[in-house]
Amino acid sequence: MVENALRNLPAVSDVLAQPAVAALLAEGYRQDIITSAVRERIAEARAAVVDGTAPPTAEEVARDVAKATQQSEADWPVHVLNATGVILHTNLGRAPLSPESIRAAAAASEGYSTLELDLEDGKRGSRYGAVARLLRQLTGAEDAIAVNNNAGAMLLGLAAVAAGREVIVSRGEASEIGGGFRIPDVLVQSGARLVEVGTVNRTYATDYERAVTEQTAALLVVHRSNFRVTGFTHEPSLVDIAAVGTAHGVPLLHDLGSGALLDTAQFGIGHETMPQESLAAGADLVFFSGDKLLGGPQAGLAAGRADLVAALRAHPLARALRADKLTLAALHRTLLHYIRGDAMQQIPVWRMISASQEELSERARVVAERIGDRATIVDGSSRLGGGSLPTDELPSRLVSIDASSVGGPDELARRLRAGSPPVVARIEDERVLLDLRTIPSERDAELARAASAALATAADA
């Protein structure tokens, strides 16, 4: 039975002769690429036939290949409207860039640039210099370096400072970060040996003190960016841990994560430790992200003592982890917003965080009116996301949509994602919610149209 079905699979030549595939070849697609795609689709069909599926016709295979080929030509990643209320949404690309940062990255991609050239003497320059200068001004660090992401920055720092030696870290901070990566695993890859002190909930400065040996290369503090330990707890201050390091001539490394250069407490949420505070408290090297609360492109920043940063720059991993010209151009322009004092107005992350209840309520009212009687306004909350202040929420006003006419909230959420532009909403208590905090105000009308289109039924058409 299966053998007969397999014999009915179309031949590659038959599929290539079908109009759908012939049209692709006529448009200029390479014969070998299309032929390979046809063979791959027939192989998939063969496996399905073995499992009991009927064999497709040559026309069906040709149609599948043409559809897949055309989909591969679409822009990627696809731009979406983030109505989840999660500001630093990892799945949606974290921090959106400011218009100036976008233009800077675009300009860097056109033609040639002075990425590693000193125009004054015509000799090779450093790709790190411009960004490092701004980071020194903003954080008080002696020097800084930018690499591809924060995990890379910490890996480079540990490899340069502690390879083959011991790094002391609190047992309560040997945590798992995004994507299943664990701090102990990063330490192992750097060549350093992990020494855990204290307990999951209580660690003291004396625990670090007792663990220091001749093999100790560094003390490491990992900011608990994506979880909180509450109840019967104790952790020493950064000042106290720095004092232990100073007494023994051991550098203190601080993995901050989010990279907030502005005080989050001014917006009614918790205070996220800033790099400048960490350095002032005695950290010798801090690591933080570019695409979280900093509001820039994906990057890992290490700032601190000049001799330690020099060791990072000289390490072979620095080349493997280095940031490209587009990242550095966008990062440079993002940092300039802080230098000029207009970060709150120009960097989208801070505009979202600082949006007032009154502003959000008025915008939600207008959007709800445009959607119609199936939309109402409700109280809700937004989150920072991206591992920043995981237990803190920003009060918000949301547009709640009754999805009963289209088959329920899951179906409406699917329709929103399938729309143009795609809208990513959230579902709570059987309601589809649109949070305007993470929608640029100039796109409110577009959001309302997308929601109205998703709510349309056959009777509405």
pLDDT at res. 227? 47
> Using the 8-state DSSP alphabet, how is residue 234 labeled?
B
Decide: residue 370, CB within 10 A, 0-12 exposed, 13-18 middle, 19+ buried: middle
- Model confidence at 41: pLDDT above 90: yes
Helix (H, G, I), strand (E, B) or coil at 373: coil
Dihedrals φ, ψ of 300, to 5°? -115, 125
> Over the stretch 122-177, which tens digit does the pLDDT of each residue have?
888 889 999 999 999 999 999 999 999 999 999 999 999 999 999 999 987 766 55
pTM of the model: 0.88
Q: Contact, 192 vs 167, CB < 8 A?
A: yes
pLDDT at res. 7? 83
Q: What's the 3-state SS for 279-333? A: HHCCCCEEEEECCCCCCCCCCEEEEECHHHHHHHHHCCHHHHCECCHHHHHHHHH
- Model confidence at 459: pLDDT above 60: no
Q: Bridge-partner residues for 401, per DSSP?
A: 375, 432
Distance CA 208, CA 152 (A): 25
> Over the stretch 61-105, which tens digit does the pLDDT of each residue have?
999 999 998 888 777 889 999 999 999 999 999 999 999 999 999
Q: Contact, 398 vs 433, CB < 8 A?
A: yes
pLDDT at res. 198? 85
Distance CA 74, CA 328 (A): 27
Q: Contact, 388 vs 288, CB < 8 A?
A: no
Percent of the chain with pLDDT over 70: 94
Q: Bridge-partner residues for 166, per DSSP?
A: 193, 216
Lowest mean pLDDT among 194-208, 257-271, 393-407: 194-208
